[in-house]
A and B are shown apart, each in its own frame.
Chain A
């Protein structure tokens, strides 16, 4: 212990350097963790989180009692995670391989620049672009096909719409990571395969894909830890927070955001938040454990 303190004192310059981040993390991340205890309290605005009386599991009883709301947003959260991860990973890889195989490199780079741009546009702006395509009276889709679909009140269409917006937003960017792996493949492998008479498809199947598998595995496993968190802007902004769409678009994060704006139902919301954080923690530990087994160098801890 004494040696430890001496070491710390000796390197007090390091302590000073680490201090600002330590403080920011403490006040911005750690204190709100303690705030999660309000899930077990009968929150009273005037008494604050710590002053409010305990109410044991009452809030969670609401959660169970309100089956439909809670189940619906949990279901949606997980559903979109599965769709986005499956479709997204597949397209990331296809796009990465396609750009990698394309021999007109200059053109490929120019196209890639455009493909990546959408990720830098906030959802607050994206929703106006989406609106231009699907609004009932002025939308391009309805006008082009001469139909009058009411997109903003037809819940069943939104899993598709949100998936398309998500692809638009993130596939170009997501493929960059895979391309960096492809760039690292030894070209002699391809040359040797060519000499052995393997065509393009065979080369992709036997050389390119196997080279990507470690990265794919790691990315998938790491993403498991984030099942409970969603891209809030996508579900809150792009849907214009339309109540008629909640059955297919309400996720936990957007529900909590709504509850804050309406400052209603804090007990229920706190219980939901608590559920989200705890399940998130368990999934994170699980996913990291799996990565540790398969590819220890990529584990987070």
Chain B
């Protein structure tokens, strides 16, 4: 591949083709696959605005008998918790992504300098975690029993903060797309290492930062596993954990037929119902779907950059 850098967004220059019958057949199949991908998401929207009774009697449907705002309204019933969880998720996503981008690009810059002898060792140090890792269990024990970080937001941020692949993408971008003459010129003009990096290199890394940043932000936004493992207090619960908890309380009710009626009544406020559950899903996945189209071109580029190693 190497030099032929393409952008999937603008694809091939027009091939002067006839828009023949074959094209319409092809278009039909592509449309089918698009529906396959899009309809389930559309269902979330529809179910979130469907009347609860319509679902429990006739099941989920793309053409509900009765619409209702009750689902969305009952999401607001979570009120404070939803707000808190949004806050936690946004905080973790923003802080994690920014810190990750900053420290990874500094590392990538350092190991890309040919005159820096320690770079070899650091590259190997970076690579080993990709080949071999301690696994979830020993990570869990170390983080909770030795670092005592149970129920700390640090465990939502740090594990996703640095990834070998992302550092490689950034390093590749520095090596391939930023002329080293620029850095040398800056030094001749008397700029120190830090200044060279922050004023020359970092601004030029924008496309790769956008690509990596968006991927990181998505990973943070969607992370349920670390939250489920480590977070216990309500005021630190991210959005994904809310979803997991809804699922758990459904399970609890389903699996315990001997839950007394009074207890069920007491749980009345939290018994998750179909439309309100879907409304919650909508609230959780909504922001990513709104933001994503703006970043599409960047991560397409980023993927391409990442696949071309320097």
Which residues of B sit under 8 angstroms from A125, Cβ to Cβ?
A: 240, 243, 281, 284-285
Q: Which among A63-71, A76-84, A128-136 touches the partner chain?
A: A128-136
The reply to whether B127 and A301 form a contact with Cβ atoms under 8 Å apart is yes
Docked CA distance A215–B33 (Å): 24
Interface residues of A in 32-49 (CB under 8 A from B): 32-36, 38, 45, 48-49
| A240 and B60 contact, CB distance less than 8 A | no
- State whether A25 touches B131 (Cβ < 8 A): no
| Complex CA distance for A21 and B117, rounded to whole angstroms | 18
- Please classify how large the interface on chain B is, using the bins under 10, 10 to 19, 20 to 34, 35 or more: 35 or more
Residue B7 at the chain A interface, CB threshold 8 Å: yes
A24 & B162 in contact (Cβ 8 Å cutoff): yes
Binds A, one of B80-88, B177-185, B260-268, B287-295: B287-295
| B56, B103, B167: most-surrounded residue (chain A CB, <10 A) | B103
CA distance A105 to B33 in the complex (A): 16
Q: Taking A24-B161, A140-B59, A177-B303 as contacts, is the C-beta distance between A8 and B118 under 8 angstroms?
A: yes
Which B residues are CB-close (under 8 A) to A132? Answer: 40, 43, 47, 60, 278
Assess the B136–A256 pair: CB atoms within 8 A: yes
The contact of A101 among B26, B61, B244, by CB within 8 Å, is B26
Given A4, A48, A133, A240, which contacts B247 in the complex, CB threshold below 8 Å? A240
Interface membership of A285, Cβ < 8 A: yes
Task: Report A208-256 residues with CB < 8 Å from chain B CB.
Answer: 214-215, 225, 232-233, 237, 240, 253, 256
A277 on interface, CB distance cutoff 8 Å = yes
Q: Which residues of B contact A11 (CB under 8 A)?
A: 113, 115-118, 193
Is the Cβ of A7 less than 8 Å from the Cβ of B117?
Answer: yes
A266, B137: Cβ atoms closer than 8 Å: yes
How far apart are the CA atoms of A102 and B15 in the complex, in Å?
10
**Chain B residue nearest in CB terms to A20:** B103
Residues of A within 8 A of B106 (CB): 17-18, 20-21
Assess whether A38 is in contact with B141, with CB atoms less than 8 Å apart: yes
A101-116 vs B, Cβ < 8 Å mask (1 yes, 0 no): 1111101110101111
Please tell me if the beta carbons of B104 and A260 are within 8 angstroms of each other in the complex.
Answer: no
Q: Which residues of B contact A233 (CB under 8 A)?
A: 224-225
| A176 contacts the other chain (CB 8 A) | yes
The total of chain A residues at the interface (CB under 8 A) is 109
Chain B contact residues, CB within 8 Å of chain A: 1-2, 4-15, 17, 19, 22-23, 26-27, 29-31, 33-34, 36-38, 40-41, 43-44, 47, 55-56, 58-62, 103-104, 106-107, 109-111, 113, 115-119, 122, 124-142, 145-147, 158-159, 161-162, 167-168, 192-194, 197, 218, 221-225, 228-229, 240, 243-244, 247, 251, 274, 277-278, 281, 284-285, 288-289, 292-293, 296, 300, 303-304, 307, 309
| Residues of A participating in the B interface, judged by any CB pair closer than 8 Å | 4, 7-8, 11, 13-15, 17-18, 20-22, 24-25, 27-36, 38, 45, 48-49, 95, 98-105, 107-109, 111, 113-118, 120-125, 127-129, 132-133, 135, 137-140, 142-143, 168, 172, 176-177, 179-187, 190, 200, 214-215, 225, 232-233, 237, 240, 253, 256-257, 259-261, 266, 269-270, 273-274, 276-277, 280-281, 284-285, 297-301
